[in-house]
Amino acid sequence: MKRIQDKVCIVTGAARGIGKGCAERFAVEGGIVFVCDRDGDGATAVAGAIAQSGNRAEARRMDVSIEDDWIRLIEGVLEAHGRLDVLVNNAGIQFSKTLAETTLEDWRRAMAVNADGAFLGCKHGVAAMKRHGTGSIINMSSTYAMVADELNIAYCASKAAMRHLTKAVALACAREGTRIRANSIHPGIITTPLIEHEMSEIVRKTPGLTRENLRTDWLRLFPLGFGEPADIAAGALFLASDESKYMTGSELVMDGGHLTH
């Protein structure tokens, strides 16, 4: 038996990076995966590749900051399969900006995607899971929810909000007598298009800095070096599976040693 055989799963931000890695791993392990992203073509490509490999996936274009998109997504999942078992709130954005550089628009956008998106996913995902009284919510946070970085003001705040949201949702679901669990994952630096973009932006704004120098500086913070999406997907699979059925409100730190400093 595969580890999440026939579990119905939603993964947001799944057109690339960590979300793509989670969607692919879930499908290999027997999940029925909804690949969701603002990039509809990217989501379709990922779902198509999963289907071509003999596993099950469907693409959905959606913006996690828009509640109507969540309502349509959940309604479609329930209509097709009658249940929702796993939700990975992975979609996120990052601005590498100081306090002075961060605009109110930047702040609101980071909160809308990273915090509001996770809240809306939890709200509507839990409501769907209550049909059967079980399920797993996985919120993709960051080590920057635990330690601050002056160059990521909005990102740090939004990921910290996600961290505490997870605990509040976990407590609420347990107190209501369900077996719906909520846990957060806190990745370190993972080789994704988002990180590549952030590196380029920092180098562009910093006179004399090269990508090689920046990478060397970052590696000092992460003793095991840069991780891969598959590394985080393995943790998400554990939280999605029944192997973690006694785990809720917890933080799974997968950071290459970042928080050891």
Predicted confidence (pLDDT) per residue in 185-196, tens digit: 999 999 988 788
What beta strand segments (E) does 54-202 contain?
56-61, 86-89, 134-140, 179-187
pLDDT in tens, 42-81: 999 999 999 999 999 999 999 999 999 999 999 999 999 9
Task: Give the active site residues.
Answer: 155
Q: What pLDDT sits at residue 128?
A: 98
**What share of the chain has pLDDT > 90, as a percent?**
85
Q: What pLDDT sits at residue 39?
A: 98
Q: b vs e for 5-30, b when ≥16 Cβ sit within 10 Å of the residue's Cβ?
A: eebbbbbbbbbbbbbbbbbbbbbbbb
